Homo-oligomer: A and B are copies of this chain.
Amino acid sequence: MTVSNVINGNRQFVGEETRRRVIQTIERLNYRVLSSGRNLRLGRRQSIGVIIVDEQSDFMSHPYISRMVSGLCGVLNANGYSMVVQGIHPDEFASTFAMRRAEVDAFCVRLHGQEESRARMLESLQKLQEPIALVQETLPHSGDNRCVVRQDDYGGALLMADHLAARGIRTLHVVLPRFRGPMVGARLRGLEDGFRAAGRSVEITPITCDPNTFSTVYDTVQKHLGSGPLPDAFLGMNDELAIGALRALQDRGFSVPDKVRVAGFNGFNPAVYTKPSLTTIVSPAREVGAAVGETLLARLEQGVFRQQELVLPVAFRKGDST
């Protein structure tokens, strides 16, 4: 008991001399608290589960995910919580052991796929009766034991529309991933509203392609170029898509930004690697992760989510591609 008091800093209960001896002995024996014992006694796990749903096994390499996880990890560790990460294929969601074992106090979840499938996964998750923070999600927030942390994609699209409208863009080809993330809708709406607010009309044409490989995007845009007139600009729903389009255009001999403009979304490293550098909307991915951590920790402490939705601002970054 005295050892426990020393470790947990209950100085009131321990004499200074005893304290010294205990610390010395802990050092000598390399003693560490066994989490399972403490957690069993205390009825908590002192850890947060991070669930990333993705079809690829390389779920951690998406720039958004890795930054979000970094931000979350920093906040959790600074507060004595550990972070348990799991990448799950959508088809295996229900059978994963995160669902069968109680080992975390709350979840940070990044869903993936069509709305119907996301809703199904969320429902399974809710059954666990643990607080859930959803990242970049648009599902209606019905439950009172969950919240959403996302960035202002609609606002970002407004900024982008403003910029493009000012440059006289009237025809815009938007390059979309095959699985439209939940925030794509917000961006598309923001684009239209932004042009309208600027008093310009715009004709938006979607180009859908599998984002997972650069060459697929490249080929899709190349093929697309042969099938109609060149638009005033291409906008990728993320930087990878925009870069694929950029390279396809350049290889066809269209000078960017003189002949056609290109812009992206997310603002991660590759956007500055290109020539010309990419105009883009910078995602506060790390801040989103940090906000998830703070929200979850507050929820655990206070027993209730203070707000059901947290929206972080994005920033417009002008490159040379527009």
Q: Footprint of B on A, CB under 8 Å?
A: 30, 32-37, 39-40, 45, 47, 57-61, 63, 66-67, 69-71, 73-74, 77, 80, 82-87, 96-103, 127-129, 214-215, 240, 243, 247, 250-251, 269-270, 272-275, 286
Can you list 23 residue pairs at the A/B interface with Cβ under 8 Å? A32-B99, A32-B101, A32-B102, A33-B100, A33-B101, A34-B40, A36-B37, A36-B40, A36-B45, A40-B40, A58-B286, A61-B66, A61-B67, A70-B87, A77-B96, A77-B97, A83-B86, A85-B85, A214-B273, A247-B275, A250-B275, A270-B273, A275-B275
Report how far A102 CA is from B30 CA in the complex, Å: 11
Report how far A86 CA is from B215 CA in the complex, Å: 34
Complex contacts, A97 vs chain B, CB 8 Å: 77, 80, 82
Complex contacts, A129 vs chain B, CB 8 Å: 30
Which of B39, B127, B128, B274 makes the CB contact (< 8 A) with A36?
B39
Which of B35, B74, B80 makes the CB contact (< 8 A) with A102?
B35
Q: Is the interface of A mostly helix, strand, loop or mixed?
A: helix
Which of B36, B85, B128, B269 makes the CB contact (< 8 A) with A30?
B128
Q: Which one of A60, A67, A77 has the highest number of Cβ atoms from chain B below 10 Å of its Cβ?
A: A60
9 A-B pairs with the lowest CB-CB distances in the bound complex, closest first: A35-B103, A36-B39, A36-B40, A60-B66, A32-B102, A60-B70, A58-B70, A61-B66, A36-B36
Closest to A59 in B: B70
Q: Report the copy number of this chain in the oligomer.
A: 2
Closest to A76 in B: B86
Beyond contacts A32-B102, A57-B70, A275-B275: 11 other A-B pairs, Cβ-Cβ < 8 A, are: A30-B128, A30-B129, A33-B101, A57-B71, A58-B71, A59-B70, A59-B73, A61-B63, A83-B86, A214-B272, A240-B269
Q: Which one of A36, A127, A215 has the highest number of Cβ atoms from chain B below 10 Å of its Cβ?
A: A36
Closest to A33 in B: B101
Closest to A37 in B: B40
Complex contacts, A34 vs chain B, CB 8 Å: 40, 102-103
CB A282 to nearest CB in B, in angstroms, measures 14
Complex contacts, A35 vs chain B, CB 8 Å: 36, 45, 101-103
Which of B37, B60, B82, B128 makes the CB contact (< 8 A) with A60?
B60
